[in-house]
Amino acid sequence: MSRHRDDRGVATVWAAFAACALCVVFGAVLALGQAVTARHRAGAAADLAALAAADRSLWGEPDACAAALRVAEAQGATLPRCGVREDVAEVTARVAVGPWAAEVRSRAGPPVPRGLPGLTGRPAPASLPAPRAGVP
């Protein structure tokens, strides 16, 4: 009595394993894509909300944070934290995409030219001409 190995059906088993492996890989790629999307949307919402708050910072923190909240909600984000110290606004935006959630903090304030005397408390760099008396 001879033993004969029958290999019929092996390709079907291998194809089923390959299909399962591909499904797992595609699922991981989709999950990573959702996480990256959440992070980028949260970053954009935080930046825009911080700019809106900085624009209204002279009117006080309640008005600045209300403007930031409107902008964040328009971007599909929530605003867990918002604050204004002097004229610099700092906000944190949170975005959830699927099972992933991302929080990003952003700050915005007025532009201050570096090295100009009187604005930063530092002397002007040597490359800038010295101010002339009587000329604004």
pLDDT digits (tens, 9 = 90+) for 69-92: 999 999 999 999 999 988 899 999
What contacts 6, CB < 8 A, 6 or more positions away?
none
Q: CA 4, CA 87: separation in Å to the nearest integer?
A: 85
Domain presence at residue 63: yes
Average pLDDT, the chain: 83
Instruction: Give the residue carrying structure tokens 């959440």.
Output: 38
Is 0.85 surpassed by the pTM of this model?
no
**Containing structural domain, residue 65:** 16-108
Task: Number of helices (H) and strands (E) in the chain: give both, helices first.
Answer: 2, 3
Task: Provide the token pair at 134.
Answer: 């009587």
**Structural domains counted in the chain:** 1
* Helix ranges restricted to H, 9-85: 10-55, 61-74
What would the pLDDT profile of 99-121 be if each residue is shown by its tens digit?
A: 889 999 999 987 765 555 555 44
Domain presence at residue 51: yes
